[in-house]
Amino acid sequence: MAYKIAVVIGSLRKESLTRKVALELIAVAPASLNFEIVEIGELAMYNQDLEENGATAPQAWTHFRQRVAAADGVMFFTPEYNRSVPACLKNAIDVGSRPYGSSVWSGKPGAVVSVSPGAAGGFGANHHLRQSMVFLDVPLLQQPEAYIGNAAALFGADGKISNDSTRQFLHKIVTTYAKWVETNAKKS
C-alpha cells in the first residue's frame, strides 16, 4: 500500500519553477508514495467570520481540508517572496489549521522544498515555513535540506530538469522522505 502524500505548491504561476521542481520530484519518487497535488489558488483569504455563527465555510476551504486530511503526509514546495513564503501558501496553511482544534496538518510527516532563481535557494521561505509547521505539529524531515537555487537554469527546452546531479538530489530527497513517512505516519 502506498502512502498518500498531499503536495502543496506555493506558486500560482502557470510556468512556475516551483511547480516544475515538484513535478520532477514526483517523477523520481518511489512507488511507496502516491502524490496528489492539492491546489490552493481558489482558496478565499482566511477570515474566521466566513465559518462562524452559523455560516458555512466556503466550499473551496472544505474541499481543501478534506483532501489534506485524507493524506498520510504532506510536501510543501515554495518559492521565496521577500524572504518568506507567498501569501497564497500562508493562506492555505491558515485555512487548513482552522477551525481551532481541527487542524488537518497535525501529525502528518512533512517536508519542505524551496525553489528560487537566486543562489540561496529560498532559504528564508524554507525556514519561515518550518516555523509554522512546528506550531502545527507537523514533524518535518530535517535532512537533506532542500534548497533548490538557480532554478531557472535547471530546465531544458522540454521543461524537464536538464542535469543529472539535480535529478539525483531530488531522488535523494524523496527517497529519504519516503522513509520519514514510513516511520512517522499515523498507523490506522
pLDDT by position in tens, the chain (length 188): 899 999 999 999 988 999 999 999 999 999 999 999 999 999 999 999 999 888 899 999 999 999 999 999 999 999 999 999 999 999 999 999 999 999 999 999 999 999 999 888 899 999 999 999 999 999 999 999 999 999 999 999 998 999 999 999 999 999 999 999 999 998 75
The structure's pTM equals 0.96
Please name the residues in contact with 14: beta carbons below 8 A apart, sequence gap of 6 or more.
none
Which strands sit side by side in the sheet containing 3-9, from one edge to the other?
A: 33-37, 3-9, 73-78, 110-115, 146-148
Domain architecture of the chain: domains with CATH: 3-184 (3.40.50.360)
CA 95 to mean position of chain CA atoms = 14
CA distance 65 to 67: 6
36-75 pLDDT per residue, tens: 999 999 999 999 999 988 889 999 999 999 999 999 999 9
The maximal CA–CA distance of the chain, rounded, in angstroms, is 55
